[in-house]
Every structure is written in C-alpha cells, then in structure tokens.
Amino acid sequence: MSEKLQKVLARAGHGSRREMEALITAGRVSVDGKVATLGDRVEVNAVIRVDGHTVKTRAEEEMICRVLAYHKPEGEMCTRHDPEGRPTVFDRLPKLESARWIAVGRLDVNTSGLLLFTTDGELANRLMHPSHEVEREYAVRVFGEITEAMLQRLRKGVQLEDGMAKFNKIKPAGGEGLNQWFNVTLTEGRNREVRRLWESQEVQVSRLMRVRYGDVTLDRGIPRGGWQELKLPDVNYLRGLVNMPPETESKVDLQQDGKSTRHKQAAQIRRAVKRHKDMQGMEPRARSTTARRKPTSSTRNSGTGSK
C-alpha cells in the first residue's frame, strides 16, 4: 500500500510533514533515482534519498512513538543549526540511533518553559495544526498599568497584523507595582502571539514562560536545559488529542525500570545542564534589570513526575 512521500519521511524522523514538503519542493528528495515532486506516493520498498543519502524507512506499525518534555531556557534557538553559533534546543537532547527528535512548535529565543519533542513527524504535524486547537498556557510578567478594559479586549479579540487574536483565559497570578504576573491560555501557535497581544495594549512583556501544552505541564523538577521522557499514558493522551491511534509500546518503561537506570538518566540531564551553563558563560547575553520573581502557577500531575 502506497503512502504520501512526506508522511514516510516524517515518520522516519527527518522532520515534520511541513518541513518534508519544503525539502521535496526544493528538489532535495529522490525516489528510485528520480527527483520527487510534491504529491508523490511511495511503496514500502522504494529507495528514498535526501540530499543523496539513503533514508532508512520503516512501516508505521514498526515505529515506537516517543515524546520528550524539555525545559527550554531563555537564550536558546528553536533550530537545529544556528549560523551565529548560539545554543539550540537540540544541543542537549539524548541521542537516537534510527530516528531524530522533532520539535512540536517553537518558542522564541527570549521565551522559556515547556517544549515538546517527538520522534513521530505525523504527531508533531497534527499537534501544531491550528485545526486541533490544543490549548497552551503561559505564565507572563507584564510591565505597565493593567486595567479591566484591557483584559476584556484581550479576551474578546484584538486585530494583529496577521488577523484577529485573543486569549481564551486570563488569570491574575500576583506581582508588585507595575510588574504583574498573569496566566494566559490560547489555542494557536502564531509567531510571538502572546507578546504581540499584550503589546497591542501598550504594555511590555518582561518575562514569558510556557507552563502547559494540552494537559502536559512543566515538571518543576526538570532543571532548565533538562528533559523528561513521557510515559505511555501521556504519549497516548497527546495522540488522542489529535485523533491518532494509541501506542502499545514505550521505551520509557524499559529504560526506567530500576533505580540505577533512573540515577543514570538524572546524571545525563545534569551533564546536559552543565554544558548549557558553560556555553552561556562563553557568550554573555543581556539580562533584564527588572526583578525576577518566578510565576506562582499551579501544575497538575500528568504522569511525568510532578506535572
């Protein structure tokens, strides 16, 4: 049975379907020696190459979907390779042998918090697609005078340069003086949407952190630059959100069976975080002079530690 070429490439871990469509359009993919075009379908035994390198493909039933919850620090780029040599979100992720991590959406360089990665390009594509309306929650600190009229406009909707946008919910979360914390939710992933919404009301966002994606929350036990692989129930929760069939296997339960393995993973994360700090020390970046009080957001257990 044939499948769309971009879907096969995404499942093989080469990126999201959207990224694979761009590769095909650019003429960088061949099938059985011929340059592929967008819309091509391939059989299971087809020889597929990207930039001349053979792609190892697998049938859908042979793949095990894996998902990481990553605590992105400020200052990291959501790209695989940065031409300026800045740290990226892929630098410290655990290495894979026959797949690669695909980011579910992006956070801009000055935004921290929860970023999901998966080995399943189809899952990444669906979670990012606006039609599924997966809710994201952010803790945001704004500087300026906040009025109830402003909040009402942000709930009702304001016109941005790329269309109408709004917050589904806005909840005050403390603060002092003109520095106020709010928890906001929306179901879109437009570029810098949270910042642009607040800036439309002529106030400045001085801190922004994503704390939840769907019902998966940022585990307070994960240090900045660290990660936690989601267990099978959480993977299947995400798959169910976007109408994908449940997985029956998980690498996590096998890898985390035993105290020594858990200690090994914790040590791996500590080394990754240390590398992040070393890299940040080599290239100092401007830091905000405003007070850095952390948000007081509640999190719920989603089966990945204290989430």
Cite the active site residues. 108
Handedness of CA 298, 141, 188, 68 (dihedral sign): negative
Displacement of CA 58 from its chain's centroid (Å) = 24
The rounded Cα 143 to chain-centroid distance in angstroms is 26
Place of tokens 């939710």: 185
Contact yes or no for 237/304 (Cβ under 8 A): no
Helix boundaries (H) for 13-55: 17-25
Q: How far apart are CA 107 and CA 110, in angstroms?
A: 8
Q: What are 162's two structure tokens? A: 């790329």
Q: Around Cβ 134, how many Cβ atoms within 10 Å?
A: 21
Q: Assess contact for 267 and 261: CB atoms under 8 A.
A: no
